[in-house]
Structure 1
Amino acid sequence: MVRGDEHLGGEPADVDRRLADRHEAMLRRRALGGYRRDLDGVDLDQLGAAGRAVMADGQPRRTTELVRMLAARFPTSTPRALGEMLIPALIPVAQMPPRGLWRAKGGVRNILLSSWLGREVEPAGEGADPVGQELVRRYLAALGPASVADLRAWCGLAGLPAAVGAIHDELVTFRDENGRELIDLPDAPRPAPDTPAPVRFLPAFDNAILGYQDRGRIIDDVHRGLSVAGARVILVDGRVAATWNVDAGTVVVTPLRPFPRAERTDVAEQGRELAMFLSDHETDRVQVAASPR
């Protein structure tokens, strides 16, 4: 459902540096949306400056450590509010490797983005929006064809119609069944409508669902809450048809609709392959629960 990165191309490094600046206002709004009361009375500009000063020595720090160092100067009702606002809403950081370790926990250690890059992050500036334009290209490379509303729902940024307009001539356009314009990169893969969609087990918060404003393209409205609740879902014929988890080494499948025999067989086969992958080929146990009536 999500394309590879072979269509991203080589772009100037300054675009990557300025992506953080392009997202700053959105990240600040989101943090305030959840912690406005907790941060009442806290001067956010002063908080950001203090956080950057602490991180300026180039040493990686966990968010909890940074909060501990600043909590006395910026008291809040919850330390979590301070951490959620500091990183990444106020301080552009990179997560130090190793991170996302297989079968192990790797704690998050943050370092100033400027320290990681070896230079300051450049402001986005006024006028042309090369960062927004590159964001459009990269989104479409992974998730197109899509509408501008899909793009904004994915990244949370305003002002993207202007970026799309600036590069519209280099894109191709289509119309979906509701007449909405979809845009895409001209050389991106677009399988024929009758291409079979094999069974796929997706992780939680997968972009195949969250990458679009119109999530009804692959998930029924009655199940849309699963996409933001951290459920791991299974696609059957290109649509969410079940959830899955692992219990004592067994992949457990819970159908969301009745499964004909052929679909149940295909889901069980993919479940066995997943169980073998997760267990280093020690087990292929899969359990498909009874379908709802």
Structure 2
Amino acid sequence: MTKRSTTKRSITKVALAPSLDTRALNRATLARQLLLSRAALSVGGAVEHLLGLQAQNVKPPYYALAARLEGFTPEALSRPMADREVVRIVTMRSTIHTHTADDCLTLRPLVQAARDRELNAFRKGLAGVDLDRLAVLARELVEAEPRTMAQLREALLAEWPGADPQSLSIAARCRLPLVQVTPRGLWGRSGQVALTTAEHWLGRSAEPAPAPDATVLRYLAAFGPASVKDMQTWAGLTRLREAFERLRPRLVTFRDGNGVELFDLPDAPRPDPDTPAPPRFLPEFDNLLLSHADRTRVVPPEYWGRTWQGNQAHRTLLVDGFVAGVWKLDGDALLIEPFGTLTKGRREKVAEEGERMLAVMHPGESYDIRFGNVVRT
């Protein structure tokens, strides 16, 4: 079959696939993300299902799970982190994620090619540096004892005094699976960032880089229905089309309002678009908002850009399943800034959810709930 006829057939398949509008995609995604109703899952089970939680800062994974799990307490994440059942490591999109130990040892190899490509931007600062030697030396250093990035950078600079210090530390982070050791990441007990290798911290070897097929299926279970480009955005990888095509016989397809082909698992939940979606308080950098190329399924176009200020993301509020405002803790107040006008009923529901979130995350503390300006202009 010629390439032209293959392309024509693919276009025909997309044209014939059922269409899902924005609200249908929203409800399906919320269901996969455990945000339509809280799940009775363990923390480990939820972190595994969600393929990790974005975690540039310490607190966001805790708030993310409070929005998703029934009976969650901060200690329910701190404990498995202290026991090395979950870890903090750079994986997708070159950002820190909280992963289960098993996913740490498989997802990091999956995205290693992207970490290698990341180093291309630092060639000038790494002129004359033997990257293989750097990886060996950095491994010896952090496995002898956990090191801060400053300590690691200083040791590497002694070996390559003419190199750019920042480039050396980035090279170590890209070439090695470096985890942040506890107490960093523990609720209320977090310390400075100190690093060792995942293999040393977990006491077992990483898996060889896997084919992406199994991760495609897991991504669809947590974020679908989704396009190839959506998953590439989530993973920070390219050239995933072949994996989707291999899996096509096991998947169902749809198209969005722009005609983009979406893939999904046949038995995955796709709730009625009119299914009620309760308010949810999400942390900054929540994966719900970062894991699709087309984010209109959760972020209305008129609010795009309002959850960011400079390079800082605000904590977001979902109302009826869509981003509808931002929030923060300000002294003794939970301050909520809706982007539009909330009906009295929705305002009451938001306040109730705020009270619940505060009771889970800050038990015994007293907060007022106020509607006002979060973003200072």
Q: Give your verdict on TM over 0.5.
A: yes
Greater CA drift, 163-172 or 41-50: 41-50
Q: Which runs of 5+ in 1 are unaligned?
A: 125-129
Residues in 2 aligned to 1:250 and 1:82: alpha-carbon distance in whole angstroms: 43
Which stretch of structure 1 is more off in the superposition, 185-194 or 218-227?
Answer: 218-227
Q: Give distance in 1, aligned partners of 2:213 and 2:303.
A: 33
- Residue 202 (structure 1) shift: 0.6
Using a 3 Å threshold, how does the CA distance of structure 1 residues 201 and 170 change in structure 2: closer, same or farther? same
How many pairs align? 280
Query: Which residue matches 2:149?
Result: 63
Equivalent residue number for residue 52 of structure 1 = 139
Q: After alignment, is 168-177 or 151-160 more displaced?
A: 168-177
Cα distance change on mapping 1:36 and 1:266 into 2, 3 Å: farther
Deviation at 1:198, TM superposition (A): 1.0
Give the corresponding residue for 1:105.
190
The 8 Å contact of residues 135 and 172 in structure 2, kept in 1 or not, is answered as yes
1:149 counterpart (207, 225, 229): 229
Find the counterpart in structure 1 of residue 62 from structure 2: none
1:20 corresponds to which of 108, 111, 114: 108
Counterpart CA distance in 1 for 2:152 and 2:247 is 41
In the alignment, does 2:300 pair up with 1:220? yes
Give the fraction of aligned pairs with identical amino acids, expressed as a percent: 39
Equivalent residue in structure 2 for 1:266, among 349, 355, 358: 349
Query: Does structure 2 conserve the Cα–Cα contact (< 8 Å) formed by 1:18 and 1:131?
Result: no
- Give a deviation string over 1:175-221, Cα, whole Å, max 9, x none: 22222221122332222211011111111111111011101221133
Moved more, 62-71 or 241-250: 62-71
SS in 1 for 2:285: coil
How far does the alpha carbon of each residue in 1:70-95 deviate from its partner, in whole angstroms, 9 at most, with x for none? 122234676444323311x1112344
Gaps of 5+ in 2: 1-29, 35-40, 50-100
**Residues in 1 aligned to 2:212 and 2:159: alpha-carbon distance in whole angstroms:** 36
Off by >6 Å, runs of 4+ in structure 1:
13-16
**How far is the alpha carbon of 1:273 from its aligned partner?**
2.1
User: What residue identity is the alignment partner of 1:47?
Assistant: L
Contact 1:251 1:272 in 2 (8 A): no
How far apart in 2 are the matches of 1:182 and 1:75? Answer: 50
What is the TM-score of this pair, normalised by structure 1? 0.81
Cα deviation for residue 157 of structure 1 reads 0.9
Q: For 2:277, what is the secondary structure of its paired residue?
A: coil
Name the counterpart of 1:127: none
Q: Determine the C-alpha separation between the residues in 2 that align with 1:38 and 1:270.
A: 49
Distance 1:91 1:78, change over 3 A: same
Q: How does 1:202-281 map to 2 (within 5 A)?
A: 202-225=282-305, 226=307, 229-281=312-364
| Distance in 2 of aligned mates of 1:271 and 1:81 | 43
Query: Is this contact kept in 1: 2:183–2:190, CA < 8 A?
Result: no
Give the aligned partner of residue 163 of structure 1.
243
Contact 1:32 1:85 in 2 (8 A): no
Q: Work out whether residues 62 and 109 of structure 1, in 8 Å CA contact, stay in contact via their aligned partners in 2.
A: yes
Alignment of 1:85 with 2:171, yes or no, is yes
Q: Provide the C-alpha distance between the structure 2 equivalents of 1:95 and 1:78, rounded to a whole number of angstroms.
A: 23
* Aligned counterpart in structure 2 of residue 283 of structure 1, from 366, 373, 376: 366
TM-score of the pair, normalised by structure 2 = 0.65
CA distance in 2, matches of 1:224, 1:71: 42
CA contact (8 A) 1:15 1:134 kept: no
CA RMSD after TM alignment: 3.1
Higher RCO by CA contacts (8 Å cutoff, separation 6 or greater): 2
